[in-house]
Amino acid sequence: MVSTKVLKDENRDWHQDHALWKKETEVWQQEMEKLVALLYLLERALPEHSSLLTLHSTLIDEHEQQVTSYECGMDERCFPGCPTYKSPEKQAQFHQKLAELHEQVKRQHQKLKQNYSAEMEKFRQLLQQLLDEC
């Protein structure tokens, strides 16, 4: 017959095992929550930057189309009935508007260019942190 002391010792060991296992699972849960938070930040970082790039690219394309249309209207072969034709006065006004738009797109591009490196570095750091956590 097994003594009560042996049974109690074994029960105490079980309680210790349970306490240890509980602590370990809590640590694992915290680590998982950190990873999920990092994944969320990574997942959020890309679409935000991607949408800014898409909008900027669209703005560049629109400006390019306007410049091309403007150039067509300036062609010597363009006649007054042509939809892109502009009188010399209108050409000067349109040119000024295009110059202003060009400067606006240029400033936006420079800002994106500066932010791109910083954003990619943040992304790399988050990714490295994610890898370090694994």
Residue 132 is predicted with a pLDDT of: 84
**Closest by CA position to 95, among listed 74, 65, 109:** 74
Could you tell me how many helices (H) and strands (E) the chain has, helices first?
2, 0
Q: What is the per-residue pLDDT across 72-122, written as a single tens digit (0 to 9) for each?
A: 767 666 666 676 666 778 888 888 998 999 999 999 999 888 888 888 888
Residue 134 is predicted with a pLDDT of: 75
Q: Using CA atoms, how far apart are residues 38 and 44, in angstroms rounded to an integer?
A: 10
Residue 84 is predicted with a pLDDT of: 66
Instruction: Answer yes or no: are the C-beta atoms of 59 and 105 closer than 8 Å.
Output: yes
Residue indicated by tokens 């240890």: 20
Q: Using CA atoms, how far apart are residues 106 and 123, in angstroms rounded to an integer?
A: 25
Q: Using the predicted structure, report yes or no on whether residue 70 has a pLDDT greater than 80.
A: no
Residue 81 is predicted with a pLDDT of: 66
Q: Using CA atoms, how far apart are residues 108 and 19, in angstroms rounded to an integer?
A: 58
Instruction: Answer yes or no: are the C-beta atoms of 66 and 104 closer than 8 Å.
Output: no
Q: What is the per-residue pLDDT across 10-38, written as a single tens digit (0 to 9) for each?
A: 999 999 999 999 999 999 999 889 888 88
